[in-house]
Amino acid sequence: MERLINELLRESVLKNPLVLSAFKAIDRADFVPKEKTREAYQNYPLPIGHGQTISQPYTVAFMMELLDPKPEQKILEVGSGSGWQTAMLAYIVEEKGKVYAMEIIPELSEFGKANVAKYPDLAKRVTFSAHSAENGLPKHAPFDRIIAAASLREIPDAWKMQLKIGGKMVFPLRESIYVLTKESSEKFKKEVFHGFVFVPFVKK
C-alpha cells in the first residue's frame, strides 16, 4: 500500500492531509475479491463482480480531494461497491460523523458491508442501503457532501435538494467529473474535470 500511496503523491493527486491519512489507514487489499489480492496495490480498477469495479486509486483520490470531506460531516455515497471509499470517508468523518452508503446491487452492498466490518470502529459510522439512489435518502437529508461512483446522464434533482447550502457534490457525468457547490437553494457553482471513465449508474 505504501508504494501505491507514494505513486499517488508523486502524481500530486494526494494533497489533503485528511485524505492522505485515510489512504494510509485503510488497506485496499481488504476490499478486493480474494483472487485479486495480489493486484490490490496496482493503480487500476479491478472487477468485483456484477459488472462493477473497485475504482482506480488515482480516480478515488482525485474525487475525494475534490469532495474535501471533514470530521463530523454527514455524507451520502452513491455506488458504494466494495466499501473501500466508504471506509475512508468513515475514517475522515470520525465518531460524530456519518456515512450513508447506497448500492443498488444487493450482493455488492453485502460485500461492501462485510469489508467495512473489518474495521469495527468505522463500521459503526456507516449505514448501508441496497436500493436505487435516484431519489437520494430524504429521511437523512440534508447532507454536507454527496459523492457518486457511477457515471450519470443527468443529476437527480433530489440530490441537489438534499445537499446542504455550502455543501459539495462530486459525481461523474459521462466521461468527466463534476463538482457542484451549493451556494443557495437555487444556485450552484460548477467545476468540470475531463478525461475519466466510469461504470454506468444503475437506476433499477
Enzyme catalytic residues: 55
What separation in angstroms does the CA of 1 have from each of 27, 191, 200? 7, 31, 28
Phi, psi of 192 (to 5 degrees): -130, 135
| Closest among 84, 78, 79, 101 to 41, alpha carbons compared | 84
DSSP 122-165: HHTTEEEE-S--TT--GGG--EEEEEE-SBBSS--HHHHHHEEE
What are 152's strand-pairing partners?
A: 173
Three-state DSSP state, 18? helix
**Sole residue written with cell 489512504:** 23
**Sole residue written with cell 466494495:** 82
